Structure 1
């Protein structure tokens, strides 16, 4: 990954990170509680890559993500991703997730049906749990059956997912119970 670079940027939910290479953005890191922890997670996952000023197209993506996280409806559809290292099934899940507009949601089952059958719901959830580009691939907009939040592997878990949905104006009729 020697030709990859990364940058840390401000957002309404904290300091995020972005990793890019020649073919586009290959990762987005949600805040880890502090800038140092966010930077550390990027280096842990991607090795000894250099921090650098983002080129224009990456800066455009950063600006779009910051806008979205501040409540402006930006669908980020023009952001070029490099998902060459991602399994084909996962790319299919991510392509569908990217069609969900800000403020709207789908379920794991909805995506699974579009990929061949509701029995793929668990596979859809696993693919979203490994999403290398949260925000751009809006895995936070995908809910479990009954509009329950389902999982969220980012720092803060489901609380972060619900916060991101709230910022976007999505209506999630969910009250946590002891049995969730």
Structure 2
């Protein structure tokens, strides 16, 4: 399948979106430069070619830009093509995608909601770290136990997760106090 991508500027930096015939295949959260955003996307979709986005992708780009200004945006109807995923990851992504604006949960709560054993919370965390379309599947809304912020593999690490939750109206003090530094990769 041919993949295409575009880099675009948001209020918090440069993001990138990749798509194919089935919908959005990759999304990279804002990075400081357009080059970094494009390189991050190409690590996931090395065969992607830069192209002007079709109308449906233009709409998703507009939604993402509005989201990063704090406007309430719902990505539930955006078509995604996650490629081959294991059954558990597929179920995790579907559950997390149903979380509403400003709604937070924990890795353990997602595991319980899927009738998985408590140790499956670690697998939920792995699914979130592997999420090919963050923001569209809002992995930033999933925290560690006891309300700790947990890790975040986007540029800026956990501080980016704090910022995204703050944009959604989650009380900043409750997330800032538990933020950990992360690595942007």
Q: Which moved more, 1:54-63 or 1:167-176?
A: 167-176
Rounded Cα–Cα distance in structure 1 between residues aligned with 2:150 and 2:59:
31
TM-score scaled by structure 2? 0.89
RMSD: 1.7
Q: Which digits, 9 at most, give the CA deviation of each residue in 1:35-84, with x for residues without a partner?
A: 11111222233113211111111111111121122111112111000013
The aligned length equals: 177
Q: Which digits, 9 at most, give the CA deviation of each residue in 1:8-47, with x for residues without a partner?
A: 1121221100000001101101123211111122223311
TM-score scaled by structure 1? 0.92
Q: Which digits, 9 at most, give the CA deviation of each residue in 1:127-154, with x for residues without a partner?
A: 1000000010000000111110011011
Is the contact made by 1:17 and 1:38 (CA closer than 8 Å) also made in structure 2? yes
Is the contact made by 1:108 and 1:125 (CA closer than 8 Å) also made in structure 2? yes
Is the contact made by 2:152 and 2:161 (CA closer than 8 Å) also made in structure 1? yes
SS at match of 1:82: coil
Equivalent residue, structure 2, for 1:51: 50
Unaligned 5+ residue runs, structure 1?
none
Rounded Cα–Cα distance in structure 1 between residues aligned with 2:85 and 2:179:
35
Equivalent residue, structure 2, for 1:41: 40
What aligned pairs does 1:10-159 form with structure 2 within 5 A after superposition?
A: 10-117=9-116, 118-159=118-159
User: Once the 2 structures are TM-superposed, how far is the Cα of residue 177 of structure 1 from its aligned partner?
Assistant: 8.5
Rounded Cα–Cα distance in structure 1 between residues aligned with 2:124 and 2:138:
13
Rounded Cα–Cα distance in structure 2 between residues aligned with 1:176 and 1:114:
24
> 4+ residue runs of structure 1 moved beyond 3 angstroms?
none
Residues 109 and 26 of structure 1, relative CA distance in 2, 3 Å threshold: same
Is the contact made by 1:103 and 1:171 (CA closer than 8 Å) also made in structure 2? no
Residues 95 and 177 of structure 1, relative CA distance in 2, 3 Å threshold: closer
Rounded Cα–Cα distance in structure 2 between residues aligned with 1:176 and 1:74:
26
Q: Which moved more, 1:120-129 or 1:95-104?
A: 95-104
Q: Which moved more, 1:169-178 or 1:83-92?
A: 169-178
